[in-house]
Structure 1
Amino acid sequence: MASTYSLSELTLVKATPEQAIVTNKNSFIEWGTHLSLEQYLSRESILASFPFTSENFTVWVLVPRSTPETTTNILSSCETFARPALIITSSLQKQNCYSIASVFTPPEHRKNGYASYMMELLGKKLKENFHEVGFSFLYSDVGPVFYSRNGWKVFEHREIQFNIENENFNNITSDTINVTQLSYSDIEEITKYDCSLIEKEIDFNSNKYKVVALPTFECFEWTFARSKFYAKVKDLKEPNIWGAKATNKGNKVIGFVIWNYDFNDNVLQILRIRSPDTNTTKLLIQQAKLCASYCNSKKITVWNPDLKLFTETNIIEGGELIERTKSLPSLAWYNNKSSSKDEVEWILNENYAWC
């Protein structure tokens, strides 16, 4: 029977390498679906080698204060990823933010308040550095209440779903727009272009603080590695198309879409979409549908899209707008001048930010 500790006996520390390995072994029962333990540990090792994680990644463990380096009494754990962000008020501030993932309590330690206490301590640690770290966010699979109690308030969580199984793929063309597919080597240039535009397009005329976790190449690279790993495990052909771009007659990029492959649920996930109008959106979504069909994906998802770009013909011909019940985007704001969710606008609350 597992020992029970009072919360006053516990502390939150950065995991040692040995503790980090134990947290992965522990969480296998939760997130190792479709994998053996060896495969799961291999996946985590591979993902940890990318710049998105290797330079900006921390594993946190809740442990007894008396034995902070224990590998046998890890009561709860989580991970944080430092990533570049923008905070917009009357001016533009470049800061870091943190995304939080893999919040896990081993079954034998549950029902003791450990995970809640861990999140309380983590929130305090992150807020202490609010001059360098403006906010943190996570994606809740346990509903809106648990994380909200410790400061992570749920934001918009709608998505558009396109069912591919009955798609007839009517050919959509344009005389003024050319759409081409994006290979892996194209993504870095597209993401740099996107980030530069985000800064230029910021509207400072608002009473709200605005925050955005930047869609940098590193976070896409990390996400693509997950897809490639599962393709290898399932003995599937590794994807070589990761999106599409739209250009005008002068060959200037006017829009793009970047996607990822969920080979467990057969879903093509649109991670980021930029489009100037509904016509361009149609053309980009058509490319996603064609690629999804080729890869035997049954569905396409788009998180929190700008609905002005999807208003034509029943959400761009066949899409359905729903509210998600999993991966609820939740954000904690660390600026002492404002603590209200209603005073903060989360810009580009899209799937690329998930981890």
Structure 2
Amino acid sequence: MTSTLPKKDSPDVHLVVATPAENIAQTVANSTEWRGALTLEAYLRREEVLIAQDLTKDGGLTAWMLVYQPPDGGQRVVLCGCESIKKKALLAKGGKVEDVVAHGIASVFCPPKHRGKGYAGRMMSEVGERLKTWQVEEGHSSAFSVLYSDIGKEFYTARGWQPFPSAHVALPATSTPSNAAMPVSKLESKDLPELCAIDERLLRQRLAKESSSGRTAVALVPDCATLDWHHTRETFVATELNGGTPPEFIQGGRGALVEVKPGSRVWCYWTRVWTNPQEEAPNTLHIMRIVVEDGAYSDISPATEEGLEKVKDSPVVTAIAALLSTAQVEAERSGMKEVQLWNPTSTTLAAARMLDSTSAVVHREAESIASLQWYGEGSWQDIDWVCNEKYGWC
């Protein structure tokens, strides 16, 4: 069968939306790459649960396939596949903020027997074009699409997705909390709607300010639907690994909050990721998002040593350190090896160094490379991707 397949540019090769049967077959095929610590059977159930979430249900997730349709009308052959998730996003230019549509791409997979023939490259090029007008009102277009490459930067850059800053700071899990003076409150799922609404309001204000200089700023919206998708994924895996019962630590909160002063709070959301036991990558508690309520706060630039010196004595730094310390304890309690925070600002790096003076920013070159394809006017080089944090991953 493989020897009879056409070249990648054959007119008999097409990008299509998968049938339910094709999608299940592709999920089975890609399970070796994406199921992590789950069995195949559990992985298939997890995907069924996830597609029923608010973020992905009712067409929120699209399964794409590159297929070969034999000219004689025989059954088409799936060559490779991926998924896209419609996401709410914000675009700011000249101080004005607009609600836009964006797409996140996930689960890119080409079976080994079909690799080396250019199929995945053709699929991604065509998907990039289709997403420009996918699930938007007639006459409009999507603003951008994003993906998180685990194969370095070259492949997706050649297909239109430009690599953006992909850095993180990590802290070890520990059973000993820091001596932070600020009391910490755990966040539960019921707390998230109100906090997400506040976060979005603040994000709109900061995007307007960021874009007033003339550059265009974009951000994925860190809404409840997005957080619930991550938390549902986390709960499912934790329950499977605990013999079918949700472990106690899952009930211990979805994040944490500190009151810096009356009317000014700092909070974060987290999620745990279990890796394949055969892999070297550690189980990690990821800080999905850190929010500072103080309206005067505008530190959204990448961390620098100069910036760290300016903010290191701020009470906001102490508050974030208290959050990170709580996350370290939660990580230890749930079998995680470390806490990871993506694209730290000077303030968050200063907080990490309060807990571990050796904390340093790691720039990823091979895994989870945040990449963006811009569909609007001008060049991607004129775009600032704000709040490029773990919550946007899919």
TM beyond 0.5: yes
1:308 is displaced (CA, Å) by 3.1
Match for 1:311: what amino acid? A
1:170 is displaced (CA, Å) by 3.0
For residues 51 and 314 of structure 1, the distance between their equivalents in structure 2, rounded to whole angstroms, comes to 37
For residues 124 and 152 of structure 2, the distance between their equivalents in structure 1, rounded to whole angstroms, comes to 15
1:163 is displaced (CA, Å) by 1.2
1:22 is displaced (CA, Å) by 1.5
Aligned position for 2:304: none
Aligned position for 1:327: 368
Aligned position for 1:306: 345
Mapped contact 2:67–2:76 kept (Cα < 8 A): no
Report whether the alignment pairs 1:38 with 2:41.
yes
2:214 to 203, 207, 218: 207
Mapped contact 1:63–1:70 kept (Cα < 8 A): no
Aligned position for 1:172: 180
For residues 150 and 221 of structure 2, the distance between their equivalents in structure 1, rounded to whole angstroms, comes to 23
Gaps of 5+ in 2: 276-281, 298-315
2:48 partner SS: helix
For residues 281 and 237 of structure 1, the distance between their equivalents in structure 2, rounded to whole angstroms, comes to 27
1:143 partner SS: coil
Aligned position for 1:77: 81
For residues 133 and 328 of structure 2, the distance between their equivalents in structure 1, rounded to whole angstroms, comes to 45
For residues 85 and 217 of structure 2, the distance between their equivalents in structure 1, rounded to whole angstroms, comes to 20
Mapped contact 2:84–2:106 kept (Cα < 8 A): yes
Provide, for residues 222-260 of structure 1, a one-character-per-residue CA deviation record: whole Å limited to 9, x for no partner.
Answer: 11111111111111615021111122453x352101000
2:26 to 19, 23, 27: 23
Structure-2 change in CA distance of 1:139 and 1:315 (3 Å): farther
Provide, for residues 108-151 of structure 1, a one-character-per-residue CA deviation record: whole Å limited to 9, x for no partner.
Answer: 11110000000111111123468331000000000000000011
2:56 partner SS: helix
1:211 partner SS: strand
1:199 is displaced (CA, Å) by 1.0
1:320 partner SS: coil
Structure-2 change in CA distance of 1:333 and 1:316 (3 Å): farther
1:120 partner SS: helix
For residues 145 and 169 of structure 2, the distance between their equivalents in structure 1, rounded to whole angstroms, comes to 25
Structure-2 change in CA distance of 1:312 and 1:261 (3 Å): closer
Deviates most, 149-158 or 228-237: 228-237
**Alignment length, in residue pairs?**
347
Deviates most, 53-62 or 183-192: 183-192
Mapped contact 1:245–1:253 kept (Cα < 8 A): no
For residues 72 and 259 of structure 1, the distance between their equivalents in structure 2, rounded to whole angstroms, comes to 42
For residues 262 and 312 of structure 1, the distance between their equivalents in structure 2, rounded to whole angstroms, comes to 23
Aligned position for 2:223: 216
Report whether the alignment pairs 1:243 with 2:255.
yes
Match for 1:243: what amino acid? G
1:29 is displaced (CA, Å) by 1.8
Mapped contact 2:100–2:142 kept (Cα < 8 A): yes
Report whether the alignment pairs 1:233 with 2:240.
yes
1:169 is displaced (CA, Å) by 2.8
Gaps of 5+ in 1: none
1:127 partner SS: coil
For residues 158 and 315 of structure 1, the distance between their equivalents in structure 2, rounded to whole angstroms, comes to 19
Mapped contact 2:13–2:67 kept (Cα < 8 A): yes
Match for 2:273: what amino acid? D
CA RMSD of aligned residues (A): 2.1
Deviates most, 26-35 or 132-141: 26-35
Provide, for residues 70-94 of structure 1, a one-character-per-residue CA deviation record: whole Å limited to 9, x for no partner.
Answer: 8761001000000110111122211
Structure-2 change in CA distance of 1:353 and 1:101 (3 Å): same
Structure-2 change in CA distance of 1:96 and 1:184 (3 Å): same
Mapped contact 1:258–1:273 kept (Cα < 8 A): yes
Mapped contact 1:22–1:71 kept (Cα < 8 A): no
Provide, for residues 266-316 of structure 1, a one-character-per-residue CA deviation record: whole Å limited to 9, x for no partner.
Answer: 311100012352122112112212222222322000000212332368365
Provide, for residues 163-197 of structure 1, a one-character-per-residue CA deviation record: whole Å limited to 9, x for no partner.
Answer: 125x74332114xxx42110122122211211121
2:203 to 198, 201, 215: 198
Structure-2 change in CA distance of 1:247 and 1:20 (3 Å): same
Match for 1:158: what amino acid? A
Aligned position for 2:310: none
Aligned position for 1:132: 141
Match for 1:237: what amino acid? P
1:155 is displaced (CA, Å) by 0.4
Deviates most, 230-239 or 23-32: 230-239
Percent of pairs with identical residues: 29
2:54 to 51, 65, 72: 51
1:33 is displaced (CA, Å) by 3.1
Mapped contact 1:315–1:321 kept (Cα < 8 A): no
1:280 to 292, 313, 319: 319
